[in-house]
Copies of this chain bind each other. A is one copy, B any other.
Amino acid sequence: MDYETPLFFRVMQYASRAEGDVIDMVSGNPDWEPPAALREGLHEYADADPDRFQYPPSDGLLELREEIAARRNVDVSQVVVTNGAGEANYLAMARALERDSGSEVVLTDPVYPYYPGKTTMLGGTQTYVETDETGQLDPDDVRTAASADTAAIVVNSPNNPTGAVYPEETVRELVSIAESNDAILVSDEVYDHYDLSGTFASALSVDSEHRIVTNAFSKSMAITGFRVGYSIFPEELVESARSRHMLVNVAGSRPAQHAVLHALRETGPEYYRANRDRLRDRVDTFTDALERAGAEYTRPDGSFYVMVRFDGFPGTLENVERLIDEAGVAGMPGTAFGSSREEWLRFALVTPRVEESAERLIEYFE
């Protein structure tokens, strides 16, 4: 069996081997500081008794699950702490596909490329629904695409790569479509702390046995390498997801869970606000420059990404490599995200050099 390896790694490798100075706008790795309490939590853990170095509970440190449950207003029994959002989505999609309620997974186009990869690995098939130009999803299109064979509808808001944030009405409709097809809405909300629009709605706001919400601290705490995420399951779906988690990973990594717990407790809203404000400034800087250059682009309502279209320069891997070599800017090819953004490139605003990168792009395309 072969699964498509996400293009991210190929592009990052190419960029790291390039000769000149390259501004990295490929990956979604925050370039800012984690919460100070996260570092404190790691130091504290490093001096702990040896028994704290042994297996945490399989579904995560209880205090961490309690903090998550309290913040998300769910019962602690619904929370499974995972190895990042990656495993959270894997568990959620596996759970949806093993219910004997269909083998089709409805995805958006553009799509975050791990979702179709996971679908194939889990034995499902993909059906795509195109978003509009701004990345918004029309629930009627999803309703038309869904069928009795639909096992899951997987969405991501704030969205990677479009920057769209789905309004509550869309989320409500998506849950209802899942319900009427005996399917599961998997709502990946890993960018929830980077909603620049104020309109973000979690799928948790809709009570249902047909939705699973996934999230992680990777982006909100700037720790993509720690691998601490979670899934929130309806009561009747949690037990076998917990078993799968145990059989695949036994448990998540305890130093990381301990540090996240400490940071969750000790970090105030100003930390998250400052990161959001920084991101907003970068969006302004980058899109203002693109605007002056007359380029076509999307202005994100959330997440880290700006999509850009340059005339006669489609979003292929070859063109991305040309930009790395000739302009010194590394982005992601639109082709990585499905067929609807083949003309586009995606740039991640996780570098302080967004102004410089915009200037390089403008100069290159002048």
Shortest Cβ distance from residue A307 to the other chain B in the assembled complex, whole angstroms? 22
Residues of B within 8 A of A5 (CB): 242-243, 246
Q: Is the CB of B55 within 8 A of A249?
A: no
The stretch from A45-53, A165-173, A283-291, A327-335 touching chain B is A45-53
Shortest Cβ distance from residue A320 to the other chain B in the assembled complex, whole angstroms? 19
Q: Is the CB of A225 within 8 A of B83?
A: no
Residues of B within 8 A of A83 (CB): 83, 227, 249-250, 252-253
Q: Which of A33, A225, A243, A259 has the most CB of B within 10 A?
A: A225
Q: Which of A207-242 contact B (CB under 8 A)?
A: 222-228, 240, 242
User: Is there a chain B Cβ closer than 8 Å to A14's Cβ?
Assistant: no
Assuming the contacts A1-B240, A29-B55, asked whether A226 and B254 have C-beta atoms less than 8 A apart, the reply is yes
Q: Is the CB of B255 within 8 A of A253?
A: yes
Assuming the contacts A31-B51, A253-B256, asked whether A58 and B247 have C-beta atoms less than 8 A apart, the reply is no
Residues of B within 8 A of A252 (CB): 83, 227, 253
A91 to B255, CA, bound (A): 23
A248 to B87, CA, bound (A): 5
Q: Which of A31, A98, A222, A223 has the most CB of B within 10 A?
A: A223
Q: How many residues of A contact B (CB 8 A)?
A: 61
Q: Is the CB of A225 within 8 A of B56?
A: yes
Q: Which of A84-104 contact B (CB under 8 A)?
A: 84, 86-87, 90, 98
User: Is there a chain B Cβ closer than 8 Å to A150's Cβ?
Assistant: no
- Please give me the residue from chain B that is nearest to A5 by CB atom: B243
User: Is there a chain B Cβ closer than 8 Å to A32's Cβ?
Assistant: yes
Residues of B within 8 A of A243 (CB): 2-5, 117, 121
Shortest Cβ distance from residue A256 to the other chain B in the assembled complex, whole angstroms? 5
Q: A58 contacts which of B9, B52, B223 (Cβ < 8 Å)?
A: B9
Q: Is the CB of B53 within 8 A of A225?
A: yes
Q: Is the CB of A244 within 8 A of B84?
A: no
Q: Is the CB of B255 within 8 A of A87?
A: no
Residues of B within 8 A of A32 (CB): 50
A225 to B252, CA, bound (A): 8
Q: A55 contacts which of B27, B31, B118, B240 (Cβ < 8 Å)?
A: B27
Q: Is the CB of B39 within 8 A of A42?
A: no
Q: Is the CB of B248 within 8 A of A227?
A: no
Residues of B within 8 A of A30 (CB): 50, 54
Residues of B within 8 A of A52 (CB): 225
Shortest Cβ distance from residue A181 to the other chain B in the assembled complex, whole angstroms? 20
A32 to B51, CA, bound (A): 8
Shortest Cβ distance from residue A212 to the other chain B in the assembled complex, whole angstroms? 16
Assuming the contacts A50-B33, A240-B1, asked whether A226 and B253 have C-beta atoms less than 8 A apart, the reply is yes
Q: List the 10 shortest-distance A-B pairs measured between CB atoms, nearest first.
A: A253-B253, A225-B254, A86-B250, A42-B46, A29-B54, A3-B243, A1-B98, A227-B253, A253-B256, A54-B224
Q: A90-B247, A225-B254, A253-B256 are in contact. List 15 more A-B contacts (CB 8 A).
A: A29-B55, A42-B45, A53-B223, A55-B224, A84-B250, A84-B251, A90-B249, A114-B247, A114-B250, A121-B247, A227-B250, A227-B254, A255-B255, A255-B256, A256-B256
